[in-house]
Amino acid sequence: MAAILLDVDGVLHVSGHLIPGAVDAVADLRDAGHRLRFVTNSTTMSRAQLGERLRSLGFAVGDDELQTTGSVAARALKGKRVLALTMPGLIDDLEGVELAGMNVDAVLIGGADEDGEETGRIFNYLNLNRAFLELDGGAELYCLHKTRWWQTAEGPRLDAGAFVAGLEYATGVEATVLGKPSPAYFGAALEAIDADAEFAWMIGDDLEGDIAGAQRHGVKTILVRTGKFRPDDFESSTIVPDGIVSSIAQVPDWLEANL
Ligand SMILES: [Mg+2]
The stretch 191-200 carries a mean pLDDT of 95
Q: Tell me how far apart the alpha carbons of residues 146 and 42 are, in angstroms, rounded to a whole number.
A: 12
Least confident of 52-61, 106-115, 136-145, 194-203: 106-115
Q: Which of 144, 145, 136, 138 is nearest to 167 (CA)?
A: 136
Query: 87 and 116: one domain?
Result: yes
Ligand 1 center from residue 136 Cα (angstroms):
33
Convert the pLDDT of each residue in 166-179 to its tens digit.
999 999 999 999 99
Ligand 1 center from residue 100 Cα (angstroms):
31
| CA atoms within 13 Å, Cβ hemisphere of 86 | 30
The sheet with strand 98-99 has its strands ordered as 98-99, 81-85, 106-109, 140-143, 176-177
CATH of the domain at 216: 3.40.50.1000
Domain containing 121 equals 76-177
Contact 55, 61 (CB under 8 A): yes
Query: 172 and 203: one domain?
Result: no
Q: Show the DSSP H helices in 78-136 as ranges.
A: 88-91, 125-136
pLDDT at residue 36, as a whole number: 98
Ligand 1 center from residue 239 Cα (angstroms):
16
Ligand 1 center from residue 137 Cα (angstroms):
35
Query: 170 and 195: one domain?
Result: no
Helix H or strand E segment including 213? helix 213-216
Provide the percentage of residues in the chain whose pLDDT is more than 90. Answer: 82
Convert the pLDDT of each residue in 48-74 to its tens digit.
999 999 999 999 999 999 999 998 899
Ligand 1 center from residue 209 Cα (angstroms):
8
Q: How confident is the model at residue 218 (pLDDT cuts 50, 70, 90)?
A: very high
pLDDT at residue 49, as a whole number: 93
The stretch 146-166 carries a mean pLDDT of 90
Question: Which protein residues have a CB closer than 5 Å to ligand 1 (ion)?
Answer: 7, 9-10, 205-206
Ligand 1 center from residue 135 Cα (angstroms):
30
CA dihedral 142, 212, 223, 47 (to 10 degrees): -20
More confident residue, 111 or 204: 204
- What contacts 129, CB < 8 A, 6 or more positions away? none
pLDDT at residue 89, as a whole number: 83
Q: Which of 4, 145, 111, 2 is nearest to 61 (CA)?
A: 4
CA 24 to chain CA centroid, nearest Å? 23
Q: How confident is the model at residue 208 (pLDDT cuts 50, 70, 90)?
A: very high
Residue 258 pLDDT exceeds 70: yes
Which of 151, 177, 203 represents a domain boundary (last residue)? 177
Q: Which of 70, 106, 66, 109 is nearest to 86 (CA)?
A: 109
Convert the pLDDT of each residue in 78-95 to its tens digit.
999 999 999 888 888 999
The count of structural domains within the chain is: 2
What DSSP state is assigned to residue 58? T
Provide the percentage of residues in the chain whose pLDDT is more than 70. Answer: 97
Question: Which residue spans within the chain are E strands per DSSP?
Answer: 3-6, 13-14, 17-18, 35-39, 66-67, 81-85, 98-99, 106-109, 140-143, 149-152, 155-158, 176-177, 200-204, 220-224, 243-245
Three-state DSSP at 98 gives strand
Query: 233 and 197: one domain?
Result: yes
pLDDT at residue 123, as a whole number: 84
Q: Which of 9, 15, 40, 23 is nearest to 205 (CA)?
A: 9
pLDDT at residue 117, as a whole number: 61
Residue 55 belongs to a domain = no
pLDDT at residue 250, as a whole number: 98
Query: 173 and 192: one domain?
Result: no
Query: 127 and 162: one domain?
Result: yes
Q: How confident is the model at residue 114 (pLDDT cuts 50, 70, 90)?
A: low
Ligand 1 center from residue 89 Cα (angstroms):
19
Q: Tell me how far apart the alpha carbons of residues 6 and 12 are, in angstroms, rounded to a whole number.
A: 8
Q: Share the mean pLDDT of the chain.
A: 93
Residue 217 pLDDT exceeds 70: yes
Convert the pLDDT of each residue in 115-137 to its tens digit.
556 666 788 899 999 999 999 99
